[in-house]
Chain A
Amino acid sequence: MIAGLLRTLAGRVFVALMFGAALHAPRLAAESLDYRLEPRKIADDTWVLIGKTEDFSRSNGGNIVNTAFVVTAVGVVVIDSGPSRLYAEQMRRAIARITPKPVIRVFNTHHHPDHFLGNQVFADVPTAALAATIAGQRQEGTAFTDNVYRLSGDWIKGTEPAPARETVAPGVKVVANHEFELIALSGHTDGDLVILDRSTGVLFAGDLVFYNRAPTTPHATMGQWLAALDRLDAISYRTMVPGHGEPVSDGRAIKQTRRYLRWVENTMRQAVERGDDMAEVLGLAVPAEFASIPLSREEFARSVAHLYRRYETGTLSRRE
């Protein structure tokens, strides 16, 4: 009786240890939560922090996004604040290693969590975004934070969504020796802010452009997105910083994003016309051109969830 009880207890402890070990093994100690942000200079006064071309995970802590800062004569302009409080704190320290000048303004290119969840660390400076972006941050910020926490764990601790506090009006904004053109577009989300620094020729494209990382579509409107890419193509720039992936000096990133989006759209149009159901579309092959782009299979599956119903609705007719 007692022996049996002991055996059971021992077994439980063992099972607990086994599962405990499995659960805790990938978790990193607090002191190793270092994003290792290394600003890379891409133009005069201009640095970027290039994220990994991955999805949110416990190993990358959400450092999957490009952020940037421009050191003007009067202070630092930050473009996107990253995926967490911790990221933005480390970003501010990275900025301080480059310049003693204060941060004077933050822009959010759009409302996705990897681009604005660091805002709370910039409570001392104006944070600005398009009206549609602020609306999205207010509406979905909490759900985004929960989800990012689920995906990246401890890195996200203490992160609270802080929607931008100032509405950006499109047009030219001069900050000392830098002339920024603020361009309001949409398509990746309802509000996509593109910033052209006319003084350096650097174009910050936000997530309207992905390069060698499959585009994400949770709030996409394909027609608007493709039209926005045409607008970007008409802008002359020296260097483009995409929202994800390496900066480029020509149109290749726009081209890749456009080709991928057109493929997604055509694939869904053809599938709904064939009568495919969603689970069947998930099984379709990704062509070689896109299969080599990181996360294309995963993002295509997500895009089916985001977009398929919209295309499908038009193929069914009302019956009495």
Chain B
Amino acid sequence: MLGLRVALAVAAACLICGGHALAAIGDDPLQSPQWTDIKDRYLGAAKAIFDPRVVVSGPRVAEDSMNVPVGIRITGLSEVRRVLVIADLNPIVKVLEFSPKGALPFLHFRMKLQQGSPVRAMVQTADGVWHVGGIWIDARGGGCTAPSVGRSSANWTETLGQVQSRVWQGEAQSRVKLSIMHPMDTGLAPGIPAFYIERLSLQDAAGKEWMTLDTFEPVSENPVFSFDFTGPPPPGLSLVGRDNNGNRINAKVAQ
């Protein structure tokens, strides 16, 4: 009898506390314990909705925690202003911030994951509303606290900031894929300070920006990005950027 009473009391308490715990996770489809904190920190009081029009793709399990491929496609949303990519459970949560401007709101890149985590794209449209999409990627870990691979070779400074690229011209759309030689050190590997590209933009011959990208430590070493445009890429397109040590990046990526 006493046992039953305790069980009932526990059950009642569970309803209260359990209900509270669920409310803390909110309506997050990924049920992340960090979601409300992340929402408060990055989106503040602005309206935020989970939106199937924001599609994040990637592996179910990260085979290589240092290079986890992620794709973002936003379709059916007009006037995309900002795309924040975050990984809730990474030691450094913010991965990048993308403003498509004249480019399509699609982005492909690779990132480091320290452990299994939601990877989300939080997309702000011109009306101020945030549209959130994401997936859960499992990882065995160590992606952020391991030294970059290039550090083990003596000549990485010689190739620092080198750009490789190619343009693919489709019927309605074009793609610019580019890679930049950079260690993208997170600062979490012992004795190696944070050293990463922090700003990239694609500019045409007249200096008009066609997209901007703020990148952070979790972006993979020697990062590769794919950007898509309606029609051909703007003529004379250059990649312009800098890292957090003031090294400049500048390369013409389309004629």
Contacts and interface: CB of A to CB of B under 8 A. Distances in A.
A309 B108 CA distance: 14
Contacts of A320: 251-252
Interface string B212-255: 00000000000010100000000000010000000000011100
B23 interface: no
Given A315-B166, A320-B251, A278 B69 contact: yes
Contact of B164 (A10, A218, A298, A316): A316
Given A10-B10, A301-B63, A282 B57 contact: yes
B17 interface: yes
Interface stretch (A11-19, A111-119, A237-245, A253-261): A11-19
Interface residues of B, number: 42
Contact of A14 (B18, B60, B63, B179): B18
Contacts of A315: 166, 177
Size category of the binding interface on chain A: 35 or more
B87 interface: no
A31 B63 CA distance: 32
Contacts of A25: none
Interface centre among A218, A277, A306, A312 (most CB of B within 10 A): A277
A11 B166 contact: no
A41 interface: no
B18 A15 contact: yes
A6 interface: yes
Q: Is the interface of A mostly helix, strand, loop or mixed?
A: helix
A78 B248 CA distance: 58
Contacts of B164: 313, 316-319
Interface of B: 9-10, 12-14, 16-18, 20-21, 57-64, 67, 69-71, 108-110, 140, 162-166, 168, 175, 177-179, 224, 226, 239, 251-253
A221 interface: no
A7 B163 CA distance: 60
Contacts of A306: 63-64
Given A10-B10, A318-B164, A309 B178 contact: no
Contact of A12 (B17, B110, B239): B17
A11 B57 contact: no
A302 B63 contact: yes
Contact of B165 (A13, A274, A313, A319): A319
Contact of A7 (B13, B58, B64, B67): B13
A147 B252 CA distance: 43
Given A13-B10, A275-B177, A277-B177, 19 more contacts: A7-B12, A7-B13, A10-B13, A10-B17, A11-B16, A12-B17, A274-B168, A277-B69, A277-B71, A277-B226, A279-B57, A282-B57, A282-B69, A301-B59, A301-B63, A305-B59, A306-B63, A313-B164, A319-B251
A309 B71 contact: no
A218 to B, nearest CB: 8
A110 B134 CA distance: 39
B163 A301 contact: no
Contacts of A301: 59-61, 63
A15 B21 contact: yes
A318 B179 CA distance: 9
Nearest to B174: A275
A304 interface: yes
17 contacts: A7-B12, A8-B13, A10-B9, A11-B16, A14-B17, A14-B18, A150-B140, A277-B109, A277-B177, A279-B57, A279-B59, A298-B61, A305-B64, A316-B165, A316-B166, A318-B163, A319-B253
A218 B70 CA distance: 20
A11 B21 CA distance: 9
Nearest to B239: A319
A26 interface: no
Contacts of A287: none
A317 to B, nearest CB: 6
A6 B175 CA distance: 60
